[in-house]
């Protein structure tokens, strides 16, 4: 079990965790905004105990990675992933991306190919594009993302605390509140750098991943909650599943944006079945 840093070509240090047997099939996890690799702890333990090599990194500007003023773009995030994969020499890889991390997986493949990727999993993921446009009327209006930027700039501590409610669906009947999830979300969010988190809002909202999705050739599992209040399913998963050539869409009834934590057992076993299939 190890943790460490890689230094990218632009001298940015990216933190990563690399657990499990080095000769096992690797699974690389990509976290959502404003979180870190720790958002995947449940999954890393689950799949590590199943004998897989499990790796997760903190995106630049997030978690324990460096906080550069410039370069907080999806192009750079994908290039950082490429450097991590190459330095760890990962092959026959399973890539799992949540929310913004799903965009990162798609953009890595679109920009660097899926030659090292065996399978991909997109959960609550932002592709093809979150923002409402003439071509994407189901998306969310710019005012929503301006509000996220405003909340991040003015009082991100309170904003992150408030965000946990729709993120995990704690405002829905029958969903039991979980203070631990709220606390860990806040802690990860506050660990990141405010400039990187501010810049990242544009990357998960305005970037169009349609061309990236078209380049995904490996089997892809798309998991999404039909009550996702952060990334509405009609503007994301339902569209992405029609664009990716070899995609399977699995909808979680009443599922929230944070379903990998709220419904961890179901999620883990669904992903395990997909990897083994």
Catalytic-role residue among 36, 65, 99, 205? 99
Residue 172 and residue 257 in contact, taking contact as beta carbons nearer than 8 Å: no
Residue 227 and residue 235 in contact, taking contact as beta carbons nearer than 8 Å: no
Catalytic-role residue among 224, 228, 236, 256? 228
Dihedral sign computed on CA atoms, order 58, 47, 267, 213: positive
- Pick from 130, 276, 258, 121: nearest CA to 201: 130
pTM of the model: 0.98
Residue 92 and residue 114 in contact, taking contact as beta carbons nearer than 8 Å: no
Catalytic-role residue among 30, 62, 112, 257? 257
Domain ranges of the chain: 2-276
Dihedral sign computed on CA atoms, order 21, 23, 24, 27: positive
- 128: preceding bond cis by omega (within 30 degrees): yes
Residue 58 and residue 28 in contact, taking contact as beta carbons nearer than 8 Å: no
Query: What local confidence, expressed as pLDDT, does residue 1 receive?
Result: 59
Q: What is the DSSP letter of 244?
A: S
Q: Is 228 a catalytic residue?
A: yes
Domain topology for 2-276: Rossmann fold (3.40.50)
Q: Is 99 a catalytic residue?
A: yes
Query: What local confidence, expressed as pLDDT, does residue 2 receive?
Result: 87
Q: How many CB atoms lie within 10 A of CB 11?
A: 8
Instruction: Supply φ then ψ for residue 230, to 5 degrees.
Output: -100, -50
Mean pLDDT, 10 residues at a time, the chain of 277 residues: 92 98 98 98 98 98 98 98 98 98 98 98 98 93 98 98 98 97 98 98 98 98 98 97 98 98 98 98
Q: How many CB atoms lie within 10 A of CB 178?
A: 15
- Pick from 277, 264, 270: nearest CA to 45: 264
Q: How many CB atoms lie within 10 A of CB 218?
A: 18
Residue 271 and residue 221 in contact, taking contact as beta carbons nearer than 8 Å: yes
Query: What local confidence, expressed as pLDDT, does residue 183 receive?
Result: 98
């Amino acid at each position: 079990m190890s943790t460490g840093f890689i230094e990218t070509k632009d001298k940015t240090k990216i933190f990563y965790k690399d657990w499990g047997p080095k000769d096992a099939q690797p699974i690389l996890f990509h976290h959502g905004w404003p979180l870190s690799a720790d958002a995947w702890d449940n999954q890393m333990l689950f799949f590590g105990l199943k004998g897989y090599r499990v790796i997760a990194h903190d995106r630049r500007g997030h978690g324990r990675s460096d906080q550069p003023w410039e370069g907080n773009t999806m192009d750079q995030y994908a290039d950082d992933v490429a450097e991590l994969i190459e330095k760890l020499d990962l092959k026959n890889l399973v890539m799992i991306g949540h929310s913004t991390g799903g965009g990162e997986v798609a953009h890595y493949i679109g920009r660097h190919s899926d030659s090292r990727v065996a399978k991909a999993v997109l959960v609550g993921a932002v592709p093809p594009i979150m923002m409402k446009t003439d071509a994407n009327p189901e998306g969310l209006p710019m005012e929503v993302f301006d509000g996220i930027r405003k909340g991040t700039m003015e009082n991100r501590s309170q904003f992150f605390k408030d965000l946990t409610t729709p993120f995990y669906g704690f405002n829905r009947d029958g969903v039991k509140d979980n203070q631990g999830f709220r606390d860990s979300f806040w802690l990860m969010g506050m660990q990141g750098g405010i400039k990187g988190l501010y810049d990242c809002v544009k990357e998960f909202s305005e970037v169009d991943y349609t061309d990236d999705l078209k380049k995904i050739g490996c089997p892809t599992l798309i998991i999404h909650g039909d009550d996702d209040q952060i990334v509405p399913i009609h503007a994301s998963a339902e569209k992405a599943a029609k664009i990716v050539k070899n995609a399977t869409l699995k909808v979680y009834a009443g599922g929230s944006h944070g379903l990998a934590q709220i419904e961890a057992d179901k999620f883990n076993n669904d992903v395990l079945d997909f990897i083994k299939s």
